[in-house]
A and B are shown apart, each in its own frame.
Chain A
Amino acid sequence: MPSLSERYEAEVVNFDCDKAVEGICETMRDIMRSKLRRRGVVVAVSGGIDSSVSAALAVKAFGAKKAFFIQLPEVDSAEDTQSRGRQLIDFLGVDHTTHNIAATLEAIGCYDARDEAIKKTFPEYSDGWKNKIVIKGGLDGRVNHFMLVVQNPEGELHEKRLDLKEYLQIVAATNYKQRIRKTIEYFHADRLNYAVIGTPNRLEYDQGFFVKNGDGSADLKPIAHLYKTQVYALAKHLDLPASICNATPTTDTYSLPQGQDEFYFALPYQEMDKALWAHNIGASASDLAGMLNISEEQAKFVFQDIVNKRKTTHYLHAKPYLIEPIPELNL
């Protein structure tokens, strides 16, 4: 009988990329034809692996002339992600625009609200300092909680546990970024009579790693069923530029570099993919422990964290609840 790792290799890592691309493109066309009835697609291109693969699939499904790409940087966006986004746009040859959202975020109070909460934790924080939030707890069986990390202009790092009120305000403020971006994506979609492509992979979608009415909002999510490992495989299969295929995933939301596993997941994505897959096929904590080379207790905590995140973020996926159904709409 094959080991769990062998099964993962066979079923996830070495999946049939040709067949996957063909199936995704056909389903995208079918959804556009029968449900969305739009003339093309808008994709916000961040330079990350997920939006790059989604953009390439959209071009494959509909053609470059039926796609419109947008880059939406702000002051905390890393230069290398923007440059990778430009490379992708050049590579796919799609009409595009760049809209820097920093002035909008400034005007709406995003940076002020964030900095006010940071200063309650680090009063000395000011211009020239950088920040990020780091999650703690999931791998140790503790309640997930959040540390604020700041770096002064001399490069010294300081870290403190965030009180809930400040944590919520920092997240609420930075969520403006995803929501303003989505507003602009829908402006172009409405203008062109296009649909908006959402770009979460399976790990992000399943575990609720998105902002409701922000990056969680879209008309069609073409890679939400694919593990991140598979998204990387598709990037190579689609011959995307090497800089994109080899990029480390970041949130690109805070001014200090922040891995997704620092902010949200208990483990780096390669291992989270394995843990989520193992959980989905009903593997035991002991099997996962062997697969990831961690203790059985830690494997139990990782499984528990997956279940907890599903519960906590369920409402992010949900449509607004009604007191009584409206059956005539057949939604």
Chain B
Amino acid sequence: MSSEAQIRNYILENYLFTDDPSALDSADSFLDQGILDSTGILEVIYFLEDEFKIKVEDTEMIPENLDSVNNIITFIEKKRP
């Protein structure tokens, strides 16, 4: 499964309670759309660290890195060696 599919599935299953892919656009802002709150973002960080074996530093905990599927993909691609 691609990274994008993994992240999309995680959000769809855990926050939108659906398997309908049309419920989430990869560009949707999690915070603006009310999909995630700040605790939800922390859960996503935990998921990313666990699933993609990366360490999210304090300074990287910004919406630009974490606030949409697209932002997360760009971020983890950058983080991977």
Contacts and interface: CB of A to CB of B under 8 A. Distances in A.
Interface stretch (A66-74, A136-144, A213-221, A246-254): A136-144
B66 A143 contact: yes
Contact of B58 (A136, A141, A311, A312): A136
A165 interface: yes
B62 A308 contact: no
B37 A143 contact: no
Interface in A116-162: 136-137, 141-145, 161
Decide if the interface of chain A is mainly helix, strand, loop or mixed: mixed
B37 A308 contact: yes
Given A143-B63, A145-B61, A308 B46 contact: no
A158 B37 CA distance: 28
A239 to B, nearest CB: 41
Interface string B33-69: 0100111011101100000000000110111001000
Given A143-B38, A308-B37, A165 B46 contact: yes
Given A163-B46, A164-B46, A165-B46, A143 B41 contact: yes
Contacts of B38: 143-144, 308, 312
Interface in A282-309: 308
B31 interface: yes
Interface residues of B, number: 16
A142 B42 contact: no
B62 A142 contact: yes
Contacts of A161: 58
Contacts of A141: 62-63
Contacts, number: 39
Contacts of A136: 58
B58 A145 contact: yes
Contacts of B46: 163-165
The residue among A141, A143, A144 with the most chain B CB atoms within 10 A of its own CB is A143
Nearest to B59: A142
A137 B31 contact: no
B37 A312 contact: yes
Interface string A39-75: 0000000000000000000000000000000000000
A278 to B, nearest CB: 21
B71 to A, nearest CB: 12
A164 B36 CA distance: 15
A168 B39 CA distance: 9
A311 B41 CA distance: 14
A311 B38 CA distance: 10
Interface of B: 31, 34, 37-39, 41-43, 45-46, 58-59, 61-63, 66
The 9 closest A-B pairs by CB, nearest first: A312-B37, A143-B61, A164-B42, A142-B61, A144-B38, A143-B41, A164-B46, A142-B62, A312-B38
